[in-house]
Every structure is written in C-alpha cells, then in structure tokens.
Structure 1
Amino acid sequence: MDKPISIEDRPRQNWFGKNLRRNFLAGLLVLVPVTIVIFVILWFFHAIDGILQPVIRLLFGHTITGLGFAITFVLIYLVGVLASNIVGRRIIQFGEWLVCKLPVLGQLYNAAKQAMSSISGLSRTKAAFREVVLIEYPRKGLRSIGFVTNEIIDSGGRKLTAVYLPTTPVPTSGWLILVTDDQLIRTDISVDTAMKMVISGGIASPPELGARVKEPEIS
C-alpha cells in the first residue's frame, strides 16, 4: 500500500505546485511574445526575400537565401536617397505625374501613397487619421474601433463622416464606411494607442476606454 501523505508534507507539496505554476506562467510570458516576434520577422524576411528570388535564379541558376532581402533593402535605401535630393525628387514627381494620368492605377497609387504617409508619420499634410471613434459594426450590439479620415457633404446637405475600420493584426487592410454623426461614439483615445490596440488584438489596451459605450436599443 502507498504511504499516506502526512500533514507536514502537504504544505511542501502546495508550495511546490504553486512555485511550478508561477515559474511556468512566467516562462510563457517571456517566450510567447518572443516567439511571435521571431515568427513575424521570419515571415517578413521570407516575404521580402522571395520578391527577387526569380531574378536571382535567372542570374545565378539557383536560389540564394537572403540575397533578395539584401538587394531589396539596398534598393529601398537608394530610392530614399534619390527622393531626398532635388534632382531625384523632380524625377520621382515626374514619374508620379505619369502614373496619376493612368485610369484606375493613378487613383490606386494616390490612395496607397496617402495611406503609407499617414502610417509612417511622414505626411506633411494634416494627419489622415483625425480621431478615434467606435462604430456599431459589423452588427448591432458590437463595437469596432475606427479612424475618422474625412467629412463629406451629400447632395441633401447632410454631413457624412468617412471612417476607416482596420483589421487585426494588420491595420493596413480594412473597410471604409460613411456614417452620420449620430452613429459615432467619440473617444479621447489617441491614434497611436488605438493602433497598438488593433495590432495587439486588444492586449495593449488602456485601463479606461475614454468613451461611454451606448447600450443597444431593445426593439
């Protein structure tokens, strides 16, 4: 027969169990974020590296891991250097002028450029994301974080607010909706804080929302 656990051994076992659980959770808190960051870095590396791999295979006859990423990085840097001087800026402006003359592609280019300027913080105009709001979306009773981008007046003189609804964890993709003022829930959340909330899936959220969420109407 197994020897019964004595009263003296029980506190020791409880301490061991609590210590094991505490250390295990502490390890998870360290390793899970690190693993996610490493996964994102590897995904980003392979995605960028794969862009020029067909050209590298054509030139060298085989794939060279990392060379595509290095060449892409150097090209981006050289374009940045070109865009930072007067002659290069003139050349780029002329190229943009030609692209903007193309149907559909011109509008797509302008939209992509404005979005990148806003997200990177390099826009010289007023911030594209003016305010953080909550929208009752995608269905009644649910709230989504949105960024006010513009105000539009319709043919009847009614003001509509353009709100960009980002997706998690990649905020560069999302939806554009037009809503009236009564459909907006104003907040005092900064754009940076809201962006962190979106990217982290709500993990990096402020302790207080800064807005009173309306209760859904009962019909």
Structure 2
Amino acid sequence: MKTRSFKQYFITGLLVWLPMGITVWVLTWLVGLLDSIFLAVLYAADSLIPGMHKVAEGLRGVPGLGVMLVAIVIFSTGVFVANIFGQWMLRQWDSLMNRIPVVRTIYTSVKQVADTLFSGSGHAFSKALLVQYPRQGSWTIAFLTGSPGGEVAKHLDQPMVSIYVPTTPNPTSGFFLMMPKADVIELDMSVDDALKYIISMGVVVPGGPDALPLAEPTATQHTS
C-alpha cells in the first residue's frame, strides 16, 4: 500500500513538473536560437564595420536581447512593406530570388506556404475534419488546406478537398491527401483543440472532462 501511494505521489508530481519543464526548455531553446542569430549577424557585419565584434561580445551577456531585437526587426519590416515603396522593394526582392536557380525553388515554396498559412484570407488549417484513413473503417483527424487546382483538378470528376493528415505525437510531419468532399466530415472543433487531441494521442479530449464517454456500468453495479 505504501509502495502504491509513493508511486501515485511521484507520478502526480511528475505530471505537474513535466509540462512546465518542457515549456521552459522550449522557450530557452528559442531564446538561445534567436540570440545566436542576432550575434551571427553582428559578427558578419564586422567585415563591413570594423569593431562590431566588440559590440557583440558586450551584448552576449544580455539575456533575451536577440528575441526583442528580432521581434522589432520583424515588426519594422511589416510596417515598411505596408506602404507603396515597401511593396515595390518586396517585388524587386522576390524577382531577385526567383532568378537564382537553387534558391528560387526553396524560396518560392516556402513563400507560398507562408502566404497560405498566415494570410487572413487563406483557408489553410481553418477547419478540423474527420476522415477515414488509412483504410475504410479507421478514422482520424485531418485539417482542411484548400481545394485541388490547376492540372490536378482537370483530372478529378467530383468535388474534392485537399487535406493534411498529421502524425502523432509530432504533427509537423504527415500526409497530403485529396479526398472526395462527400467523404469528409467537418468537426465543430477548433484547430487548437484538434492539435491537442492529436499530440496527446487521444488523451486530451476536446471539451474537457464533460466530453469523456461515460463508463458502462459493471455487472456489480447492475446487481446493486
């Protein structure tokens, strides 16, 4: 009995500290990454402006400075691109990137994905879906990414949708599928709740404890 209680207390404490520890680890890694990018830029600028490495050494000990400066740069870029001159500069930059053979493929692909995901008018990951995959009778959660177009759409004889089926517990990898619209069930569930459901492998049920299925009464409960 004592051993069982010790194990339960240990697991309870682990469930409290594990999410917190992983969160702190991820944030620490992100801050360190942004700080490293900022310092790398300063060191690279040393070839143009001698003495910048001294500035980099002095700023190395300031925690989180890279995060703040990167955020300021991103925000300032958004403000700059919002005007006519900034949009013209952006078009010139895109034109330059599209002329470089290897860079063109990577840059164009990433830009199209980013424009689709972060554009307010886009439909990527706007809905959580329930689909049968990888075979009939097996169900999983997917996300709507749009509709087939171009050359692909010409060969499809019925309304289709493009979906992304993530893997678990890592939803950043998955499968792109085109399925008949009639075979897709739209869920009354937010994308965030669907991601939690996938990452937790079905443990974290959207809707909280009230959404859990009721346990079937046992034979003892029937007799009592």
SS of structure 2 residue aligned to 1:50 = helix
Structure 1 stretches of 4+ with a deviation exceeding 6 A read 61-64
**Residue 31 (structure 1) shift:** 1.4
Structure 2 unaligned segments of length 5 or more: list them: 45-51, 99-103, 214-224
For 1:183 and 1:79, the matched residues in 2 are separated by 41
Structure 1 residues 52 and 77: alpha-carbon distance in aligned structure 2, compared to 1, 3 A threshold? closer
For 1:170 and 1:52, the matched residues in 2 are separated by 29
Which amino acid is 2:184 matched to? L
Deviates more, 1:199-208 or 1:185-194: 199-208
**Residue 162 (structure 1) shift:** 0.5
Quote the RMSD (CA, aligned, Å).
3.5
Contact 1:149 1:164 in 2 (8 A): yes
Which residue is 2:71 aligned to?
A: 76
User: Residues 1-219 of structure 1 correspond to what in structure 2 (within 5 A)?
Assistant: 14=1, 16-57=2-43, 59-60=52-53, 65=60, 70-84=65-79, 88-90=81-83, 91-101=85-95, 102=98, 104=105, 105-115=107-117, 117=118, 123-125=119-121, 127-138=123-134, 142-152=138-148, 154-155=153-154, 156-168=156-168, 171-206=171-206, 207=211
Structure 1 residues 124 and 183: alpha-carbon distance in aligned structure 2, compared to 1, 3 A threshold? closer
SS of structure 2 residue aligned to 1:152 = coil
For 1:174 and 1:66, the matched residues in 2 are separated by 40
Structure 1 or 2: larger helix share? 2
SS of structure 1 residue aligned to 2:130 = strand
Deviation digits for residues 74-124 of structure 1 (CA, Å, limit 9, x no counterpart): 13224314524xx55124422432344425433531322322x1xxxxx43
Structure 1 residues 138 and 26: alpha-carbon distance in aligned structure 2, compared to 1, 3 A threshold? same
**Residue 179 (structure 1) shift:** 1.4
Which amino acid is 1:149 matched to? T
Contact 1:99 1:106 in 2 (8 A): no
For 2:158 and 2:116, the matched residues in 1 are separated by 26
TM-score (norm 1): 0.64
Count residues with an aligned counterpart. 187
Give the percent of matched residue pairs that are identical in Structure 1 and Structure 2: 25
Which residue is 2:101 aligned to?
A: none
**Residue 163 (structure 1) shift:** 0.5
